[in-house]
Amino acid sequence: MIEYFTVKNYRSYRDLTELSFVASKKEGKKNDLPPAWYKEIDGKRILRLILCVGLNGTGKSKLFSALGYLRMLVISKPQAPTENPEYRPFLLDDHSQEEPTELSLSYYIGDKNYLYSIKISRTRIEEEELKLLSPRASRVYYRLFDSSQNRISIQFGSACDLSRQDQHDLEVNLRSNASVLSIFRGLNMDSAVLVGNYDYFENRISCVRKSSSQELADKLSTGDANHDARMKKLLLALLKDVETNIVDYRIEDASFSISELKSQGAPELLLKMMMEQNPSGFIKHKTLKFIHSTSNGNRDLESGLESLGTLNIVRLLVVLYDIVLSRKSCCIDEIEYGIHTKALAFILKMYLTIAEDCQVIAATHDLSILDSPFLRRDAVRIFEKNSDGVTTFHKREYLHNTMSFFRTYEKEVAPQIDRFLAEYEIFAKYKQYLEDAKIHE
């Protein structure tokens, strides 16, 4: 689980900014801070859910992108040793483009707390370090580019379990555009510490994107009978509780002939590519159908005919199920997309009841979710962007139980828009702009 993530000089994050998952230990007079929200590790309450709110363009998605960028730097390496690494600095001033991007992540693998940090410039990785913070503080490795000698050096600490020979071989193979962990993973070396940390970034951190109906069918029919049965039981129970009339679903295997596309006038180049990928001449796919209970009996409906909200409820549950089972820390952008506020609140509370060693960082524009009675207020991050285009965010450490968090935040966010909404003259100018444009046509 992640304890905190820091970012500096990445897209709209010019200044050092920290996203902390550590919850407050303040308890309200009411029992409104349920333990389901966090897991206690080393005396720290590590949150399982963080909600990010703010106007469009304030940097919520860019924070998720920064975490994905860090993951990519750790597990991937450019194809050629001379290729420059990806570099995404703050662009709205005169100096940030000449400074490195700095990222760090403090996280737990079992009962061990690690801190990974990296500095990356336009041409190379300038600095990289992996430290064990607890149960006993010690260094795994520290890597530095020495500009005076134009070489990379690496120091191994007492927490590193590589043999002396492997340490030497790893240093020989270091590249200026690739992380130590990515180089290590490409070599045949034995190290439980480095394998564990590499696998953490590869398998325990993710950012979800919206999936197609075909991808959804694949995720509901994985070939693992036990997994698919557990998923179906959970999904159908939730669809019933949020008051849909779906009582079952099935996935059917289907296929169509590439030659049929030829008769329909498909381009030859496209047909050739399809034949190369499908030598049998047939393209196989899965079809997802939902079974609805009606007064006239059960009726099938193909997924493409379902409402956007229903499909997104299914997609979200599939994602949450994977997060829980795989013990992931996962970013979900626009988590409310197409889902009613009450259904979303139900799903999030369900997630918290089944979550263990996992985390969700979710961005939402649905402010009414802030009015949910189960909401833990220090789990909300409020995003803003200043006049220089720099993103900042903060959390409310405390708000009295008798005050509405939703109404308090609503008054704080862009109050000038609320003032504009009350003034007709502000909107009248847009009609005038249109009239002026017609005159000059």
Least confident of 15-19, 211-215, 225-229: 211-215
Whether 29 shows a pLDDT value over 50: the answer reads no
The most confident of 75-79, 123-127, 230-234, by mean pLDDT: 123-127
3-state secondary structure of 4: strand
- Say what the pLDDT of residue 21 is: 97
Q: What is the pLDDT of residues 35-84, one digit of tens each?
A: 799 999 999 999 999 999 999 999 999 999 999 999 999 999 888 988 99
Q: Which DSSP state fits 13?
A: B
| C-alpha to C-alpha distance for 61 and 5, rounded to whole angstroms | 15
In this prediction, residue 202 carries a pLDDT of 97
Residues facing 414 on adjacent strands = none
Contact (Cβ atoms closer than 8 angstroms) between residue 318 and residue 231: yes
**Domain locations along the chain:** 2-204, 211-324
Q: Is the pLDDT of residue 399 over 60?
A: no
Tell me phi and psi for residue 367, to 5 degrees: -65, -20
Q: Residues 102-114: what's their mean pLDDT?
A: 97
Banded pLDDT at 27 (limits 50, 70, 90): low
Looking at per-residue pLDDT, the higher value among 362 and 284 belongs to 362
Is a pLDDT exceeding 80 seen at residue 405?
no
Q: What residues contact 441, with CB distance under 8 A and at least 6 apart?
A: none
- Residue 119, judged by CB atoms within 10 A of its CB (0-12, 13-18, 19+), counts as buried
Which pLDDT does position 390 carry in this prediction? Answer: 97
How far is Cα 350 from Cα 346, in angstroms, rounded to an integer?
6
32 pLDDT more than 70: no
More confident residue, 202 or 406: 202
Helices 60-75 and 192-203, interaxial angle, to 10°? 140
Question: What letters, b where the CB count within 10 A reaches 16 and e where it falls short, cover 98-111?
Answer: ebbbbbbbbbbbee
Q: Which of 234-238, 269-273, 402-406 has the lowest mean pLDDT?
A: 402-406
For residues 99 and 161, what is the distance between their CA atoms, to the nearest angstrom?
A: 33
Q: What is the mean pLDDT of residues 132-151?
A: 94
Length of the chain: 441
Q: Which residues contact 31 (CB under 8 A, 6 or more apart)?
A: none
Percent of the chain having pLDDT more than 70? 94
Residue 212, pLDDT score? 65
- Average pLDDT of span 326-343: 94
**Confidence at 391, pLDDT banded by 50, 70, 90:** very high
Name the residue type at position 397.
E
For the residues 299-316, what does the mean pLDDT come to?
Answer: 91
For residue range 247-275, list pLDDT tens digits in order.
999 998 877 677 777 777 778 887 778 77
Are 7 and 103 a contacting pair, CB within 8 Å? Answer: yes
- Please identify which residue in the block is written with the tokens 């139900």: 346
Q: Check residue 213 and give its pLDDT.
A: 64
Q: Which two tokens stand for residue 204?
A: 């325990």
pLDDT value at residue 370:
87
Q: Is the pLDDT of residue 397 over 70?
A: no
Q: What is the mean pLDDT of residues 18-22?
A: 97
Tell me the chain's radius of gyration from C-alpha atoms: 26
Of residues 63 and 420, more confidence is placed in 63
Supply the pLDDT for residue 264.
76
Q: For residues 12-41, give the mean pLDDT.
A: 81
Mean pLDDT value across residues 103-128: 97
134-143, 249-258, 362-371, 429-438: which is most confident: 134-143
Model pLDDT, residue 403: 59
Provide the strand spans (E) within 295-426. 297-302, 329-332, 359-364, 380-385, 391-394
Write out the DSSP string of 272-288.
HHHHHH-TTSEEEEEEE
Query: What's the mean pLDDT in 165-185?
Result: 96
| Reported pTM | 0.88
Q: Higher-confidence residue: 29 or 184?
A: 184
Higher-confidence residue of 269 and 4: namely 4
Nearest to 143 by CA among 113, 114, 104, 175: 175
Alpha-carbon span 16 to 18, nearest angstrom: 7
Count of CB atoms situated within 10 Å of the CB of 123: 12
Are 4 and 381 contacting, i.e. CB atoms less than 8 angstroms apart?
no
The average confidence (pLDDT) of the chain is: 89
Distance (Å, whole) CA 350 – CA 48: 12
Give the CB-side neighbour count of residue 13, counting CA atoms within 13 A: 26
* Position 160 confidence tier, pLDDT thresholds 50, 70, 90: very high
- The DSSP output letter for 19 is E
Residue 318 has pLDDT above 80, yes or no: yes
Identify whether the C-beta of residue 187 lies closer than 8 Å to the C-beta of residue 170. Answer: yes
Average pLDDT over residues 288-306: 92
What's the rounded mean pLDDT across residues 134-154?
94
281 within 8 A of 259, measured Cβ to Cβ: yes
